Amino acid sequence: MSLTVTEEHRLSLHQLVGPGASEALARDGLPTPPGELEALPHEAGFVARTGAREYLVGHRLGWTPGEASMPPWCFERCDRILRLQGESWCEVMSELCSHDMHRMGSGDWFMGSMAGVDAWLYVTGSDEGGVLVGCDPSLGDYLRSVLDAVIADRYQRFN
């Protein structure tokens, strides 16, 4: 299978922060990851625990919490989301990040620096497969061009 990078436009992101955030997720039928920097899938996306009382909700149906379940802070995020697909996505990421991605499996979450860009990574268990990479939208074009360049280089070296 070849490596591809595509834009993920079907996923919207919301950040829930503060007391009551985990309760709001539970009331809306969404999973609550047990530990910090862990993620759990749900039928239309994922929920990542990014801090003690902080969650990032990725949802394909444009989820927002109901008024009754609103924690102190809830805001929509506009991260640039890329989907890296292919059997050797770990090798591509190993050229951009010092973290060992080979140990990551479906549902794993990572926050760190990739090619000098602060980003998050979520290994999907969906039919599309691959890994989602999100970053500040102002750095999305740069990260996309770096991923494309690494993939092109790998293709030239191994073909």
Per-residue pLDDT tens digits of the chain, which is 159 residues long:
488 999 999 999 999 999 889 988 998 899 999 999 999 999 889 999 999 999 999 999 878 777 655 667 889 999 999 999 988 888 899 899 988 888 888 899 999 999 999 999 999 876 567 899 999 999 999 999 999 999 999 877 776
Q: In 3-state terms, what secondary structure has residue 110?
A: strand
Query: What would the CATH number be for the domain defined by 4-8+79-158?
Result: 3.30.1360.120
Q: Exposed, middle or buried by CB within 10 Å (0-12, 13-18, 19+), for 102?
A: exposed
Residue 157: the pLDDT is 77
Burial of residue 36, with CB atoms counted within 10 A of its CB: 0-12 exposed, 13-18 middle, 19 or more buried: middle
pLDDT in tens, 22-53: 988 998 899 999 999 999 999 889 999 999 99
Residue 73 is inside which H or E element, if any? strand 73-77
Give me the DSSP letters along 81-102.
Answer: EEEEESTTHHHHHHTT-SS-GG
Q: Which residues contact 104 (CB under 8 A, 6 or more apart)?
A: 90, 110, 121, 123, 131
- Per domain, the residue ranges of the chain are 4-8+79-158, 12-77
Residues contacting residue 68 through CB under 8 Å, at least 6 positions apart = 27
**What pLDDT sits at residue 74?**
87
**Which tokens is 48 given?**
């990542």
Both tokens of residue 25? 């997720």
User: For position 159, what pLDDT does the model report?
Assistant: 65
Q: Is the pTM of this model over 0.85?
A: yes
